[in-house]
Amino acid sequence: MTTEHRAQVDQLLADYRRGREQLASVQRELAAVSCSADSPDGEVTATVGAHGELTDLVLADHAYRLRPAQLAELVVRTAREAARRAAERTARTLAPVLPSATDPEALVRGTADLRPEEITPPKPARRAPVDDDEDFEQRDWLDADAPVRRLR
């Protein structure tokens, strides 16, 4: 191997090692993402990880005075805000290692390079009506003379 080729190989290996270290660093930063949000009244504090998964939930002692539906809504709204913050932090962490044309926020949302019609789930197919003569699930097979019972 010539000296020139050896220098190119050494350069490629050095670039590869730098890239792997940068990737490992980003992975460590992503694993450490943890964002919290407090409800406006201070009743709820929600903490989430990089993917928006709830990792901690703190309810103030007086939060139990709220009606269950109000408390549930407050928890969901507060967790959603914490997840939004975590997504922003995740996007900022990923931005330096992404190609310049990539939107890190869209990537984190899962919408990068997709058109809205590609993201919208397909509508479920309509089921054909069941012909009563073909519907054997409603029959009592133990008593052949028993009338057919409908579960509707």
Q: Do 39 and 103 share a domain, yes or no?
A: yes
Specify the DSSP class assigned to residue 58: E
Phi and psi, residue 56, nearest 5°: -160, 145
pLDDT the model gives residue 103: 83
Residue 81 identity: E
Listed residue (81, 78, 79) closest to 39, CA to CA: 78
Q: Is 9 found in the same domain as 68?
A: no
- My answer on whether 25 and 85 are in the same domain is no
Q: Please say whether the beta carbons of 88 and 48 come within 8 A.
A: no
Would you say residue 79 lies in a domain? yes
Asked if residue 126 is part of any domain, the answer here is no
CA atoms lying within 13 Å on the CB side of residue 12: 6
| Segment 83-138, tens digit of pLDDT | 999 999 988 888 888 888 788 888 887 777 666 676 677 777 777 665 555 555 55
**Domain assignment of residue 147, yes or no:** no
Give Cβ neighbours of residue 111 (< 8 Å, ≥ 6 apart): 119
Mean pLDDT of the residues in the chain: 82
Q: How confident is the model at residue 147 (pLDDT cuts 50, 70, 90)?
A: low
pTM (two decimals): 0.62
The structural domain count of the chain equals 2
Residues 4 and 26 in one domain: yes
Q: How confident is the model at residue 57 (pLDDT cuts 50, 70, 90)?
A: very high
Answer left, alpha or beta for residue 55, where phi above 0 means left and psi between -120 and 50 means alpha: alpha
Residue 27's domain comprises 1-31
Q: Are residues 22 and 51 in the same domain?
A: no
For residues 24 and 62, membership in a common domain is answered with: no
For residue 34, what pLDDT band results from cuts at 50, 70 and 90? very high
